Chain A
Amino acid sequence: MYRGFIKNRDADKKESNKAFVEAKDEKCKKANGKTAIKAVMNLQNKFCNNRFEKKPQNLLFRFKTLKMTMVFFFSVLIIAAVFIFLLVSIRYTEDRILKNSKTYTLQMVEQVNTDIDSYFSYMENISSMMVQNADVSRYLFSENSSAAVREETREKVASQFKTIMETRPDITNIAILADNGRYVIDAGDKIKNTYADLNNTDWYIKAKQANGSTVLSTSHVQNIVQDDYPWVVTLSRALYNPTTGKIEGVFFVDLNYSSISNLCKSLHLGTKGYVFVIDENGGIVYHPRQTLIYSGLAKENITAIQASKTGNFVTHEGKNSKLYTIYTSQKTGWSVIGVAYVNELLQGREETQAAYIVIACVLLLIAVAIASILAAEITKPIKILTRTMREVEMGDFDQEVPVDPVPNEIGVLGKAFNTMTKRIKELMEQIILEQKQKRKSELIALQSQINPHFLYNTLDSIIWMAEGGKNKEVILMTSYLAKLLRQSISNDDEIVTIEQELSYTRSYLAIQKMRYQDKLEYEIDVDEASGQALIVKLVLQPLVENAIYHGIKYREHGGMIRVYTRMEETRICLFVEDNGQGMDEDQVQELLSERKKVNPNEDSVKNKQVDRHGLGIANVNNRLKLFYGTAYGLQISSQKGLGTTVCVTIPYEKGGV
């Protein structure tokens, strides 16, 4: 098939080349100069394109064997399937992990936020305690008390502050400031920075404006204490003068970052992840890299964070992609932001991927191995069939395809092939046999044409007649002999008309009549229609010869030979009848017996002569059967002393038209 295809393709190519040349010639004749060149180029393109268009048909034929084709396409299919599965599963795993991480971190960040809220609630409680503290207002706002009493109340306030400071290391400063200049800072041992401009300070102004509720500042530098400039978050609250009912002072607590930092650090978001806090204006309150951020060396995308008050978003920065989880507190307005590196969240992703890939490769190897085994298994019977066919093609018909007891399609094919081979083999054997028999019978026919004894005898008779001066008879006999010989030798056709056969027989009988004179009488009675029918040659003459030598010759008064025909529907019967001595049943059987075969090595002339006649009849019978089939042939009916009738049955075939 493949070769056939190539051949066809080559033929196509030739065809197309031819067409190309012709078309080129034609175009050249029509056009001239540049246009011709252009036209040729166009044509070339066209033909080239044609050739390319044919190429895809090659795809299925790229592999020489069916097995390789199957292995290839199986492999492609498996690889594609595994690859898609790989992509999908990796993708899905990542999505799943990320989704879980989002929920998880949101919960954690919310927890941190709650902790910070409760931290500030605690600080608010402290502030409430202080604001309502009688000593505080007495010290700050009482106008009438003596210096000693005032100092005493101051000491009381300071000692309370001291207690708070001692229990809370996260409090940097705790202080009350009154507009009248009285103040207590920490344990009362700190001096107010005289250069600090409170009316330009955020936490101070806001506290006064907030009508007694607590105000939380962002991170800032606290400069209220002399010689100290710490970064703190300030929680401030206005102080009312109980006598005037007006706001005349501020209470504040400065908080360092230890508590917030501890709260933020309590949340572990991988080794690189971190937590930071921003205020409602987007200012950084706490960040583990605050120095870098304040120095402008690091940045956080505050705008994006502020855009989503509570929730998650992922930044896409390749290896540094981060998951931001934001939770904004209702209480403080601050947002706690958890930052986790996507890389770390998907930790082990690379190992998982590697594992996936390794598994996929192993699967591939196994699958391809199985595919090739499968392909081999499927194509094995085809291969066997092909091999057997090739051997049969080479002439070895003994090959047989092994077929399963329950055959599949290929098994059926093999079975059919086996049957076919067997049949061919039988037919061939039959042909060989028939050819052999035909050749043999032809040889015998050739031998049976003219009996040499008959020839000697005839020639002797002619000599005798010539010596006796019977010129007339000599001429007649010689002319009959010549006719007989001519008919016998010159006619190459195997099949002749009955008329021709009869004419040959007549010549023979005429010669015999001259030899046996009155002892032989004959009569030929054939109508014209029968004469036109066809018959294998040299059938009648041997029968007649037999009738003379075995029937009439031994009768003292001679005998009569009759030849006649009878037409039946599909066949013709030729009869050769004599009234000679006749035969018994055994002799008849012997006459027709095939056992008497001509042995070419038998050089005994006598034997040959004896056997000849009998053999002649058997041979005629065989030839008839060979030619027309077993339904046709000779029938002999004979009675001792009364004579013999030989009947030749042949199918009716009209000839000579």
Chain B
Amino acid sequence: MRKDKGIPLLFLIIVLVLIVGIGSGIYLQRKSEQTYKIIFVSKSVNASTDFWYALMEGTNAAAKDYNAEVTTVGPDSESDYETQNEQIEAAIAKHPDAILLCPADYEKTAKAAEKIKKAGIKLVLIDSLVKDAKAMPMIATDNYAAGEKLGRFMKMWITNDTQIAIVGHVEGASTAIDRIAGIKAALGSDSDKIVRIVYSDSDYDKAYEATKTLLTEYPQLSIIAGTNENSAVGAARAVKEMGLAGKVHLLGFDSSKEEVQLLEEGVFDAIVVQKAFNMGYLGIEATIESVQGKKVAAQTDSGSKLVTKYDMYTEENQKLLFPFW
């Protein structure tokens, strides 16, 4: 009587093993096929600015690597926070898995960012901060550290009667705030030699005009620092035009063809280059990780490097200054 139970039991076990094996196989296959929908709301989609171009190249590269569907939106102008806020609203309405946000304004974008969180959509910040950005992971250049690099380099020209001016990009933007703070910190007691801080609203012409004004107002000005590409290049144009290249030490942030040429020419003494491509790539990577429920570090530094005229063609720096694409 026992044998009659035994044989079907054996069959049952074999059949069970079969079902479990095939079932789990199908399940695993399905899991690996999943793609994520991500909307990247940038500060600017102006591809003529090398920084934004590199950033978008980075996000696209990561999207390809992780098989994610990334849609990029954003205003043309960096300071156009109103358009950006509208675009954030539209992005929320599309219910993506996550939004990667590069906030245009520290305060004025905060509300929109909060809305994303409230909608239950994963949010990762890139490049810039917003107010009350707690529990929002951020991928950015450590702007304070970048500022410090510039400040330390600046120090070698500082004498007692040195006058320093800073051409900031957007007043109120966290990047500008941090970079200036970094410069000041590196200068330490010499930070009182900063005579003026002007803002260009990330516009070449405004920066150019402002620098011209500065140089007229302060003829003794010996160091000028621009806190982003537009501000620095604008300032450089003014310095070059006024024939002060080599006399006024010029330092800048970011890179562009013009900026690199100016560095090669010797108009710039040094520039601090952000790794925009890395930032974009890491931004998407972190976004996908947060969607997958993995723990994402609150703050990730995508890195920056100070490059001078003399080391701009080293193997490492040419990769940084002249993105490969």
Give the contacts of A47-102 with B (CB-CB under 8 A).
63-65, 67-68, 71-72, 75
**Chain A residues within 8 Å of B, Cβ to Cβ:** 63-65, 67-68, 71-72, 75, 193, 195-196, 200-201, 220-221, 223, 227, 229, 231, 283, 289-292, 294-297, 350, 354, 357-358, 361, 364-365, 368, 372
* Interface residue range, chain B: 35 or more
Chain B residues positioned under 8 Å from A296 (CB to CB)? 278
Whole-angstrom CA separation of A357 from B23 in the bound complex? 13
* B interface secondary structure, majority: helix
Chain B residues positioned under 8 Å from A68 (CB to CB)? 2-3, 6
- Interface flag for B25 (CB, 8 Å): yes
Nearest B residue to A201 via CB reads B313
Chain A residues positioned under 8 Å from B25 (CB to CB)? 350, 354
Whole-angstrom CA separation of A364 from B324 in the bound complex? 59
**Chain B residues within 8 Å of A, Cβ to Cβ:** 2-3, 6-7, 10-11, 14, 17-18, 21-22, 25, 57-58, 61, 65, 257, 260-261, 264-266, 275, 277-278, 281-282, 313, 315, 318-319, 321-325
Query: Which 9 A-B pairs rank lowest in CB-CB distance, beginning with the nearest?
Result: A294-B319, A68-B3, A221-B318, A195-B264, A221-B322, A290-B324, A295-B277, A291-B324, A229-B322
Contact between B319 and A71 (Cβ–Cβ < 8 Å)? no
Counting residue pairs across A and B whose Cβ atoms lie within 8 Å, the total is 86
Contact between B2 and A63 (Cβ–Cβ < 8 Å)? yes
Whole-angstrom CA separation of A356 from B22 in the bound complex? 12
Contact between B322 and A65 (Cβ–Cβ < 8 Å)? no
Whole-angstrom CA separation of A229 from B255 in the bound complex? 13
Chain B residues positioned under 8 Å from A290 (CB to CB)? 324
Chain A residues positioned under 8 Å from B315 (CB to CB)? 220, 283
Nearest A residue to B325 via CB reads A291
Task: List 4 extra interface pairs beyond A221-B318, A295-B319, A297-B61, CB under 8 A.
Answer: A193-B264, A220-B313, A221-B313, A361-B14
Nearest A residue to B318 via CB reads A221
Contact between B3 and A220 (Cβ–Cβ < 8 Å)? no
Contact between A229 and B3 (Cβ–Cβ < 8 Å)? no
Whole-angstrom CA separation of A196 from B312 in the bound complex? 11
Contact between B278 and A195 (Cβ–Cβ < 8 Å)? no
Nearest A residue to B258 via CB reads A227
Chain A residues positioned under 8 Å from B11 (CB to CB)? 365, 368
Q: Looking at the complex, which one of A200, A294, A357, A361 makes contact with B313 (CB distance below 8 Å)?
A: A200
- Contact A357 B21, CB 8 Å, known A223-B264, A290-B324, A295-B319: yes
Chain B residues positioned under 8 Å from A297 (CB to CB)? 61, 277-278, 281-282
19 A-B pairs with C-beta separation under 8 A: A63-B2, A68-B2, A68-B3, A68-B6, A71-B10, A220-B313, A227-B257, A229-B260, A231-B322, A283-B315, A290-B324, A291-B324, A291-B325, A292-B65, A294-B323, A297-B61, A297-B278, A354-B22, A358-B18
- Contact A65 B2, CB 8 Å, known A223-B313, A227-B261, A296-B278: yes
Looking at the assembled complex, report how far the CB atom of B44 sits from the nearest CB atom of chain A, in whole angstroms.
Answer: 21
Whole-angstrom CA separation of A31 from B271 in the bound complex? 93
Chain B residues positioned under 8 Å from A294 (CB to CB)? 319, 323-324
Nearest A residue to B62 via CB reads A297
Chain A residues positioned under 8 Å from B313 (CB to CB)? 200-201, 220-221, 223
